[in-house]
Amino acid sequence: MLRTHNCGELRIENLNNIVKLSGWVQKSREFGGMTFIDLRDRYGITQLAFNLEVNAELCEKARKLGREFVIQIEGIVIERSNKNKNIPTGEIEINVSKLTVLNASKTPPFTIENETDGGEELRMKYRYLDLRRNPIQEKLFLRSKLAKEVRNYLDDSDFIEVETPVLIKSTPEGARDFVVPSRMNEGQFYALPQSPQTFKQLLMVSGFDRYFQIVKCFRDEDLRADRQPEFTQIDCEMTFVEQEDILNTFEHMMRHLFKSVKGIELKDFPRMDYADAMRLYGSDKPDIRFGMEFHELNDVTQNLAFKVFDEAELVVGICAKGCASYSRKQLDALTDFVKRPQVGAKGLVYAKVNEDGSIKSSVDKFYNDEQKQAWADKVGAQKGDLILIISGNVNQSRSAMNELRLHLGTELGLRDKNTFAPLWVTDFPLLEWDEETKRFHAMHHPFTSTKEEDFEKLETAPGEVRANAYDMVINGVEVGGGSIRIHDRATQEKMLSLLGFTAEEAKAQFGFLMDAFEYGAPPHGGIALGFDRMCALFGGSDSIRDYIAFPKNNSGRDVMIDAPAPVSKEQLDELFLAQKQSK
Amino acid sequence: MLRTHNCGELRIENLNNIVKLSGWVQKSREFGGMTFIDLRDRYGITQLAFNLEVNAELCEKARKLGREFVIQIEGIVIERSNKNKNIPTGEIEINVSKLTVLNASKTPPFTIENETDGGEELRMKYRYLDLRRNPIQEKLFLRSKLAKEVRNYLDDSDFIEVETPVLIKSTPEGARDFVVPSRMNEGQFYALPQSPQTFKQLLMVSGFDRYFQIVKCFRDEDLRADRQPEFTQIDCEMTFVEQEDILNTFEHMMRHLFKSVKGIELKDFPRMDYADAMRLYGSDKPDIRFGMEFHELNDVTQNLAFKVFDEAELVVGICAKGCASYSRKQLDALTDFVKRPQVGAKGLVYAKVNEDGSIKSSVDKFYNDEQKQAWADKVGAQKGDLILIISGNVNQSRSAMNELRLHLGTELGLRDKNTFAPLWVTDFPLLEWDEETKRFHAMHHPFTSTKEEDFEKLETAPGEVRANAYDMVINGVEVGGGSIRIHDRATQEKMLSLLGFTAEEAKAQFGFLMDAFEYGAPPHGGIALGFDRMCALFGGSDSIRDYIAFPKNNSGRDVMIDAPAPVSKEQLDELFLAQKQSK
């Protein structure tokens, strides 16, 4: 090794040891005849001391070192006169006797400090320098630790990690696949997996009983701010289980992770069915770090005088505690917020419950005091509180009110990054109607089973059928989701037919799975957890990007290596392909 | 859970417990009024008992169950009258009171037994059934255990696991890339990584100090029997190291794996430089479970009478202990073996050292007894031994003799699958000359550094330059290889230029890496171990295929899911591509 110790391990106990260290020059300073250099590596910082009087040549050499130079030194561990209690090596320094420059460094394009002056684009181009910064390194260490603890927990619970293939087959269901042309099979393509779904189900058919994999998955979707074309999932499946078993297993896993990685003891996860989540929070992933639940106000607002409410499918209100003091300007800002196209409400009605008990609203000309008091009673508003009301069709009003609630929660400081409020959302609908294609789509995927009691409705009222499907939600983030699967051929065929697959399409795409179901397929179910997002959640960040060593930008590009890039005509020829001009 | 216990855990201590089990019907048999069923799951087998006299209906139901049916039973644990000492559950059985069929099974296309009657093709098509067989399951459990122990060891040694991207950039160096057309970047392509080489080097530039990843890699090569288009590597890199540090670290890792997974204590790994390996074994991955080293016989065979030897660049012999008794037929078979085109020798000369000390050879008319005795002395042949000699040009003779040595080693039972003989082969040449393109290629890859003392020869005698490159070899299998890397821009540019890259090509392909080398890149090096092959080695198999859950066949096809497959014209249109007919 080019070192006897790393830069984080020397202590007062090592006094008088002759040591060799290697690392990066973090900074240097001169102090009288002395030059001090902070030498950095992954493990810490050790101070090097050079004395101009004792060894002028060496000291001059040290003074010429620039930031981020890589050096190796030899010297003796001595006690510092001016101790630094903030770092573990702060009691000692190295009296350097030999200095070797291992590599020079140009001045980095941005400062390698906890707070840097580099913009997003520059840091992405020089990602290897951005990765030198402590906050980013810590995020990747957190990721590594989380992966390790996931494996520890699942291994202890008899799960076996199995690698499933990356070169598979394109399926039209779901998001768009990345495809990979085959050179050995003319006119044919592999696809990169959006998830190992069918393979893990086959592993259950094979009797592996409990499977997991921390695995890269791929989706060729238009990227939103926080989506990556390649992402990592903790993919799991269990045999001979019911929904309750999956929920218990992975709730315990998450509690283990919070305990072992963050030292936080989480309580039992509450459960809420999808219908309640939508009714109370207007979202299938409610942030329950704070209350401010929805209250449906149709019966106390309609058929009185206000036409807007009368014509609404839903009138829904929330109570913002202590916000009666909001100014006109603040209320206008909230109205502007809900009227933004992304939120989509037509307007916002407010009612302040004043300290004298009177209620002042934006619709005072339509409602009397008694009527407004009924709203306050319904939403639980007391003196000093603010009632906010949105109306319209059910889905849009709930969606807009959800945005408003989250916005207010943030504004009021109710969404502390160090508080964690987990939740299971259960009983998702099996299907959702797509207006564009005029048919039902699987809300989860086509392998999800129905609630037994809803099975008969598949024919009569497919939209009402509830699935054995569940999401794990923490702080309003969907951490993962799963389902109990169909495990017999007849039901799987029926489901695919309901989703618009012809018998031929069903066979071509999923024939192997349905065949497998005929050879003793056991009941099974599972879950997949988004690992990138989970890391960001544990790290207290909204963005997943810094938890990925080499992320892509919003155009799916790696700007550091400059990929994707053109390939040669010879490469395309071998793949039986030609470029086509876009119109 | 659909069970209170699994099929492997009930013991005599559980007597009189009321239990619920789920599993597969392995087999059933009738014995007087009793029906016995072996119920199987991943964990073991438990015997179920049904008594026709006590419950005729239930017993009749049990008698109708076919092999591989999935059932759930309830019953009481009772002591077996006829105990089976061969299985851990053999002292008990379940007196069944309730039986539910969870899923029926058609008759499998081959038997689900340790030894099956299914051919390779059928088992690949029904891989999910093949995976039910114990020997295959055990291989995947071994793989999972190995991965876990690799992670344990590396984690304990301060390595951090970092995921590198799968969608990267195509590089012309090395094997052929799989490419992935980009929908968002017209005319551009990602490539799937052949290894995370440049990314792990950048992580060292970033100061991660010790990195590892168990990672899928991809090569679009014509498949040989034991190659897969996607394969798994244990990829590692370390900073501030010399070759010796890498060798020590990964030798210790391998010893940890043998100890923890197989209970075998390996001794220190011997080391051999490339030149010696070629001279003594004719291979850069010698199987040193047995001796039979090569001896160069030019000085005792040439310029005497035999023109074939006289004209040979190399005359090389081995001594097969105790094989003087080989019959004419056996010797003819060996001659046929070396003359096969894959082996490529022109012929084989033998000399038997008889029990009376006389030597009988196939070239007796050219050599006298004294001359032949000199051969025997040289190869160390004693009474009863057989000398085998091949001649020709150096490379071909060594290569053919290597094949012969391995063949004989197998024939003589010297290559026991339960004996493990590891070896480091070091000092590989940096470059190899390619006759076809008339230029040098990197033997390892273009990032490999030279031995310091050979650096000057880069200009004058590039073919003689030795690299800081090493392979780990066990039982003649190349388990892994690595090198100390170049870490400065000037040397890297020089290397790429030597390999025929223009300055523009070098910049376009590896500019980001060379840029990185200018910002304080530390000395670093690493290794990559072939995980599929390592699993096969630990499992005592020659083939890697059964250690991969869903392998592809020799045409790169997954015959179970039928991939690759055509995609729609719409998909190609979105990617700006068109099919081109092959000629």
pLDDT digits (tens), chain B, 583 positions: 999 999 999 999 999 999 999 999 999 999 889 999 999 999 999 999 999 999 999 999 999 999 999 999 999 999 999 999 999 999 999 999 999 999 999 999 999 989 999 899 999 999 999 999 999 999 999 999 999 999 999 999 999 999 999 999 987 767 899 999 999 999 999 999 999 999 999 999 999 999 999 999 999 988 776 789 999 999 999 999 999 999 999 999 999 999 999 999 999 999 999 999 999 999 999 999 999 999 999 999 999 989 999 999 999 999 999 999 999 999 999 999 999 999 999 999 999 999 999 999 999 999 999 999 999 999 999 999 999 999 999 999 999 999 999 999 999 999 999 999 999 999 999 999 888 888 888 988 999 999 999 999 998 999 999 999 999 999 999 999 999 999 999 999 999 999 989 999 999 999 999 999 999 999 999 999 999 999 999 999 988 999 999 999 988 999 999 999 999 888 999 999 998 866 5
Q: What is the pLDDT of residue B512?
A: 96
Q: Cβ of A140 and B208 within 8 Å?
A: yes
Give the whole-angstrom CA distance, residue B98 versus residue A491.
25
Quick one: average pLDDT of A194-212? Answer: 97
Please give the residue of chain B at the shortest CA–CA distance from A203: B128
Residue A71 · residue A100 · CB < 8 Å: yes
Query: Is some CB atom of chain A closer than 8 A to the CB atom of B570?
Result: no
Tally helices (H) and strands (E) across chain A: 17, 23
**Burial (Cβ within 10 Å: 0-12, 13-18, ≥19) of residue B224:** exposed
Query: Is some CB atom of chain B closer than 8 A to the CB atom of A517?
Result: yes
Angle between helices B274-281 and B394-411 (to 10 degrees): 70
Q: Which of B143, B164, B186 sits opposite A550 (nearest CB)?
A: B164
Residue A139 · residue A546 · CB < 8 Å: yes
Q: What are residue A281's DSSP bridge partners?
A: none
**How does DSSP classify residue A311?**
T
Q: What is the pLDDT of residue B17?
A: 98
Query: Is some CB atom of chain A closer than 8 A to the CB atom of B5?
Result: no
Contacts B199 to A, Cβ<8 Å: 549-550
Q: Give the burial string for A548-568 (b: 16+ CB within 10 Å, else e).
A: bbbbbeeebbbbbbebbbebe
Query: Is some CB atom of chain B closer than 8 A to the CB atom of A182?
Result: yes
Please give the residue of chain B at the shortest CA–CA distance from A70: B520
Instruction: Output helix, strand, coil percentages for chain A, rounded to the nearest 5.
Output: 30, 25, 40
Residue A76 · residue A51 · CB < 8 Å: no
**A138-267+423-547 CATH:** 3.30.930.10
Q: Cβ of B519 and A22 within 8 Å?
A: no
* Residue A547 binned pLDDT confidence (cut-offs 50, 70, 90): very high
Among B426, B427, B430, smallest CA distance to B465 is for B430
Q: Which of A1, A105, A556 sits opposite B185 (nearest CB)?
A: A556
Q: In the structure encoding, which two tokens stand for residue A546, read together?
A: 């810094």
Among B71, B72, B66, smallest CA distance to B106 is for B66
Contacts A507 to B, Cβ<8 Å: none
Q: What is the pLDDT of residue B580?
A: 83
Contacts A229 to B, Cβ<8 Å: 167
Q: Which of A104, A166, A187 sits opposite B579 (nearest CB)?
A: A187
Q: Which of A70, A161, A245 sits opposite B522 (nearest CB)?
A: A70
Phi–psi pair at B108, nearest 5 degrees: -60, 150
Residue ranges, CATH 3.30.1360.30, chain B: 290-415
Give the whole-angstrom CA distance, residue A385 versus residue A353.
5
Q: What is the pLDDT of residue B222?
A: 82
**B47: helix, coil or strand?**
strand
Cβ neighbours of residue B457 under 8 Å, at least 6 residues apart? B464, B465
Q: How far apart, in Å, are the Cα atoms of A125 and each of A496, B166, B259, B457, B516? A: 45, 18, 44, 36, 11
Q: Which of B147, B189, B562 sits opposite A161 (nearest CB)?
A: B147
Contacts A559 to B, Cβ<8 Å: none
Q: What is the pLDDT of residue A472?
A: 98
Cβ under 8 Å to B: A residues 363-382: none
Q: How many CA atoms does the CB half-sphere of B22 hold within 13 Å?
A: 21
Please give the residue of chain B at the shortest CA–CA distance from A132: B206
Q: State the average pLDDT for chain A.
A: 95
Q: What is the pLDDT of residue A582?
A: 63
pLDDT above 90 for A436: no
Is 0.90 surpassed by the pTM of this model?
A: yes
pLDDT above 60 for A217: yes
How many Cβ atoms are within 10 Å of A203's Cβ, its own excluded?
Answer: 26
Chain B interface, mutation test: which of A38, A67, A163, A580, most B Cβ atoms within 10 Å? A163
Sign, Cα dihedral of A207, A208, A212, A216: negative
Residue ranges, CATH 3.30.930.10, chain A: 138-267+423-547
Residue A68 · residue B520 · CB < 8 Å: yes
Contacts B108 to A, Cβ<8 Å: 519
Query: Is some CB atom of chain B closer than 8 A to the CB atom of A499?
Result: no
pLDDT above 70 for A583: no
Please give the residue of chain B at the shortest CA–CA distance from A125: B512
Residue A416 to chain B, least CA–CA distance (Å): 29
Q: Which of A103, A155, A169 sits opposite B520 (nearest CB)?
A: A103
Give the whole-angstrom CA distance, residue B257 versus residue B143.
11
How many Cβ atoms are within 10 Å of B76's Cβ, its own excluded?
Answer: 15
Q: Which of A105-119, A137-151, B392-406 has the lowest mean pLDDT?
A: A105-119
Give the whole-angstrom CA distance, residue A432 versus residue A444.
9
Residue A79 · residue A86 · CB < 8 Å: no
ipTM of the complex: 0.95
Contacts B187 to A, Cβ<8 Å: 566, 579
Q: What is the pLDDT of residue B434?
A: 85
Q: In the structure encoding, which two tokens stand for residue A33, read together?
A: 């005849």
Q: Which of A293-297, A425-429, A506-510 has the lowest mean pLDDT?
A: A506-510
Please give the residue of chain A at the shortest CA–CA distance from B511: A561
**How does DSSP classify residue A234?**
E
Domain B12-103 is found in CATH 2.40.50.140: yes
Q: Which of A70, A143, A187 sits opposite B520 (nearest CB)?
A: A70
Residue B394 to chain A, least CA–CA distance (Å): 36
Q: In the structure encoding, which two tokens stand for residue B113, read together?
A: 């037994």
Residue A373 · residue A385 · CB < 8 Å: no
Q: Cβ of A191 and B578 within 8 Å?
A: no
Q: What is the pLDDT of residue B583?
A: 55
Tens of pLDDT along A38-58?
999 999 999 999 999 999 999
Give the whole-angstrom CA distance, residue A146 versus residue A142.
6
Query: Is some CB atom of chain A closer than 8 A to the CB atom of B62?
Result: no
Identity of residue A216: K
Domain A290-415 is found in CATH 2.30.110.10: no
Q: Which of B161, B555, B567 sits opposite A179 (nearest CB)?
A: B567
Angle between helices A531-539 and A134-156 (to 10 degrees): 120
Q: What is the pLDDT of residue B170?
A: 86
Residue B73 · residue B98 · CB < 8 Å: yes
Q: Which of B41, B72, B549 sits opposite A162 (nearest CB)?
A: B549
Cβ neighbours of residue A31 under 8 Å, at least 6 residues apart? none
Contacts B220 to A, Cβ<8 Å: 183
Q: What is the pLDDT of residue B174?
A: 73
Sign, Cα dihedral of A558, A127, A536, A197: positive
Residue A218 to chain B, least CA–CA distance (Å): 9
Q: Cβ of A579 and B187 within 8 Å?
A: yes
Give the whole-angstrom CA distance, residue A490 versus residue A493.
5
pLDDT above 80 for A392: yes
How many Cβ atoms are within 10 Å of A124's Cβ, its own excluded?
Answer: 19
Q: What is the pLDDT of residue A580?
A: 83
How many Cβ atoms are within 10 Å of B567's Cβ, its own excluded?
Answer: 22
Cβ under 8 Å to B: A residues 270-329: none
How many Cβ atoms are within 10 Å of B504's Cβ, its own excluded?
Answer: 9
